[in-house]
Amino acid sequence: MSRPATAITTVAAGILLGTGSGAFAHIRPRAVIRQRLAAQVEPRRIVPLIRPALRGEGVWRPASFKVDGSAPVLATSFRPDPSNPSVVAYVAWIDHTRTSIALYPGYSDPPTASPRGSAEIPSGERWRLLATFNGGFKWKSAAAGFVVNGHADEPLLRGLGTLVAYADGHVDIVSWHGPPTLRRLVLARQNLPLIVNHGRANPNIAEPWLWGATLGGVPLVWRSAIGIDRHGNLIYAAASDQSAASLASLMIHVGAVRAIELDINPEWMSFNAYARRGGRDAAQVVPNSQQSAYRWLTPDSRDFFAIYTRAGGSPLVPFR
């Protein structure tokens, strides 16, 4: 790569200050741009839970290059646990009006993926790549559905929390109660039951056996989650020293009305954003010394999500 990766973190407890970015957007009719700008609802600052707040705590900063005048991927961090101020949660917000989401298999997970593709971001799509982030558990750890372009590599299971996307660009997080697959689904990724529904934690959230095996069997580990806010925007978060219950509380605090847990344990946490088109100037929103900010620009064993600009793409997950 032409430039070294940079982490989007600084200051005493690792609170994010962010990096700005400059990029060009495709020229579109002014009416279309005005309509999209009117639909955009940027998130409010995350209310600090510890006082005094650190500099930049909970303040959203651009994480990606600009689309229609501003970054559609924002990032921040805050301390979620007043009893343990050293813990930092890293959060990203994704504007659904200017982005599209894709789901890709890794080269070994899920085990039955077809097409599997190259297990990395396709070279022909990198010009519109905004961000990438980790998927859910390995299939040997928990059964879960995996659908790409209407094809179920793993059948969807009733009652599991599911991130879904449709051909009209609509994205949601739901408790799945439909058939094993639907042709109109662009993608679906399941991982355990919802941890948050209707803005409340799952009533079984305190049962540790439901929410994944941890390294050493300890309850508090790195955990990640993806949620959706009341405006239809996605919110990703990851933090160390989390139980499933504290992760659910964290997601509610940042504005998720529904959420699923994604991968857990320290090696697998990744949310990378790109300040320039072409996958350039990558930065780790979630600091992780075991992974590169350019993860998924080379083949990787695990499934992952990509966030693209909506402009320039088709409704389907691209593989070229």
Whether 121 shows a pLDDT value over 70: the answer reads yes
Output the six-digit token pair for 185: 């689904």
With bands split at pLDDT 50, 70 and 90, how would you rate the model's confidence at 3? very low
Amino acid code (one letter) for 7? A
Amino acid code (one letter) for 129? L
In the block, tokens 């007043």 appear at 82
The predicted-structure confidence for 243-290, as pLDDT tens digits, reads as follows 999 999 999 999 999 999 999 999 999 999 999 999 999 999 999 999
Which segments of 20-88 are extended strands (E)?
Answer: 61-62, 73-78
- CA distances 127 to 23, 32, 147, 312, Å, are 11, 21, 25, 9
Per-residue pLDDT, 276: 98
Q: What's the rounded mean pLDDT across residues 52-79?
A: 98
Per-residue pLDDT, 182: 85
Output the six-digit token pair for 309: 């600009």
With bands split at pLDDT 50, 70 and 90, how would you rate the model's confidence at 217? confident
Per-residue pLDDT, 79: 98
**What share of the chain in percent tops pLDDT 70?**
88
Whether 32 shows a pLDDT value over 50: the answer reads no
Q: What's the rounded mean pLDDT across residues 291-312?
A: 97
Q: What's the rounded mean pLDDT across residues 146-165?
A: 96
Per-residue pLDDT, 39: 56
Q: What's the rounded mean pLDDT across residues 135-164?
A: 95
The predicted-structure confidence for 197-216, as pLDDT tens digits, reads as follows 999 999 999 998 889 888 88
Encode burial over 39-51: b for 16+ CB neighbours within 10 A, e otherwise: ebeebeebebbbe
pTM: 0.88
Closest to 88 (Cα-Cα) out of 208, 250, 267, 233? 250
Per-residue pLDDT, 40: 65
Q: What's the rounded mean pLDDT across residues 165-189?
A: 93
Higher pLDDT, 17 or 295: 295
Whether 27 shows a pLDDT value over 80: the answer reads no
Closest to 170 (Cα-Cα) out of 100, 68, 260? 100
Amino acid code (one letter) for 177? H
Region class of 268: left (phi > 0), else alpha (psi between -120 and 50), else beta: alpha
**Half-sphere exposure at residue 132, Cβ-oriented, CA atoms within 13 angstroms:** 33
Q: What's the rounded mean pLDDT across residues 163-172?
A: 94
Mean pLDDT of the chain: 89
